[in-house]
Every structure is written in C-alpha cells, then in structure tokens.
A and B are shown apart, each in its own frame.
Chain A
Amino acid sequence: DIVLTQSPVLAVSLGQRATISCRASQSVSISSINLMHWYQQKPGQQPKLLMYRASNLASGIPARFSGSGSGTDFTLTIDPVQADDIAAYYCQQSRESPRTFGGGTKLELK
C-alpha cells in the first residue's frame, strides 16, 4: 500500500500562510497527472473535497487555498489563514488500490 505521511499538527496565526505537506512512499503521478487530493474536515463534520489532482480547486473552495507538488511530495497552502480554516486536513492518493489517506494535519491557532 502507498503510505502518505503528514505532520500531525501545524500552528499558525490568523492572516498568515499555512503550508501543509504530504509525502508519499512512492510516486502517485502518472505522466503529468498527479493523483493526489486534499480534504478538509471540521470537528463533527464529514470531510469536504478541497483540491483534486494536486492543484485543482474543488467547486466552491476559496482561492486562498492552493496546491502543488508532483511525484512523492505535495503541499496544500492556505494564504491567508482565516478562523474558518481551523480544521484537520487529509491528503489522499488514487494512484493505486487501495486508495489511502494521510494521517491528517490538524491546523491550530498560535
């Protein structure tokens, strides 16, 4: 299985930039297609798709969210961080079955 590794916690100040990373145990890219996706989950709620194929914003997601990366290293950036962004963030690969998720990064306020 492809293992996705995320830092458990990231502390940021409102208005600053947050950079959340995800490292895969093997490449999740095919040619130029990066099969890595990002989700946001607030406490007591279901996950919500934020970004698909590494850098494409899902419908209704504000432009302060962006994504980058290829191969094994991916990043989700929030700039500037707003109070509503305090949540857990998960990466997920669809390069191979079983599709796997990272352990999640909890975004906290400094």
Chain B
Amino acid sequence: EVQLVESGGGLVQPGRSLKLSCAASGFTFSDYYMAWVRQAPTKGLEWVASISYDGGSTYYRDSVKGRFSISRDNAKSSLYLQMDSLRSEDTATYYCTTDRDDGTPFAYWGQGTLVTVSS
C-alpha cells in the first residue's frame, strides 16, 4: 500500500523558514517524480513544486521561485520542501504527492501538514 506521511508543519512568523518532510513507502520511490501541492484554508488546490527521479531537475510555481527548494533522498525514500522568507499567503496545508513527467495526474497523496504563517 502506498503511504506518504508529511511532517514539519506549524506556526511560523513571516520572513522565517520551515522545512517539510515526506516519508514514502509501499512503492519504488526512485521510479517517481514527486511534488508538493498546497491548499489554503477553505480554498482550492495549487501545485507548488516538482522534482525529477534523481533530483537533477526541479520545477516551481512563480510565486515560490527563489524562496522554496524541493529536494529528495532516494536512499531514505524521503521528499523535502525548504521554505524560506515565508509570507502570510503561504499559509496552507501542504500535500506530498507522486508525480510523473508524462502528463499523468497526481496519483497518490499524503494526509497533509498545515503551515501557518502569522505574527
């Protein structure tokens, strides 16, 4: 059974940093791109970032470029999101998802971790 378990969320002040983690199991982690998708409270879904199989290629939405960094450790089957210079508009539940580079959907999702940016 595919499992994705996020951690690292919490309350953080504007301008500060936070690092999210996602532990994957039940599938061959290195066979998948991986992604982070977020959802602001009572709002819709928004793709944030993706990373290739070996971490050699990364992709970001414009609003987080230069502030967020996605990475992975295939030996640990883990995905990360380093978030710097956080803003109030980054407040959301962040989901770890499997991804592909062939137009297929986000097939598997974690339960999410809530990040609240507030003073």
Contacts and interface: CB of A to CB of B under 8 A. Distances in A.
B103 A92 contact: no
Contacts of B111: 45-46
B99 to A, nearest CB: 9
Contacts of A90: 44-45
B6 to A, nearest CB: 10
Q: Could you tell me the dominant secondary structure of chain B's interface residues?
A: loop
A99 B47 contact: yes
Contact of B61 (A30, A94, A98, A103): A98
A: interface residue count bin: 20 to 34
A58 B109 CA distance: 14
Q: Could you tell me the dominant secondary structure of chain A's interface residues?
A: loop
Given A47-B45, A97-B59, A101-B45, 17 more contacts: A35-B103, A37-B105, A39-B45, A46-B110, A46-B111, A47-B106, A48-B109, A49-B106, A49-B108, A52-B107, A53-B104, A90-B44, A90-B45, A98-B62, A101-B44, A103-B44, A104-B44
Interface of A: 30, 33, 35, 37, 39, 45-49, 52-53, 58, 90, 92, 94-95, 97-104
22 contacts: A30-B103, A33-B103, A37-B105, A37-B106, A39-B45, A39-B105, A39-B106, A46-B112, A47-B109, A48-B109, A49-B105, A52-B107, A53-B103, A90-B44, A92-B45, A94-B103, A98-B47, A98-B61, A99-B47, A100-B47, A101-B44, A101-B46
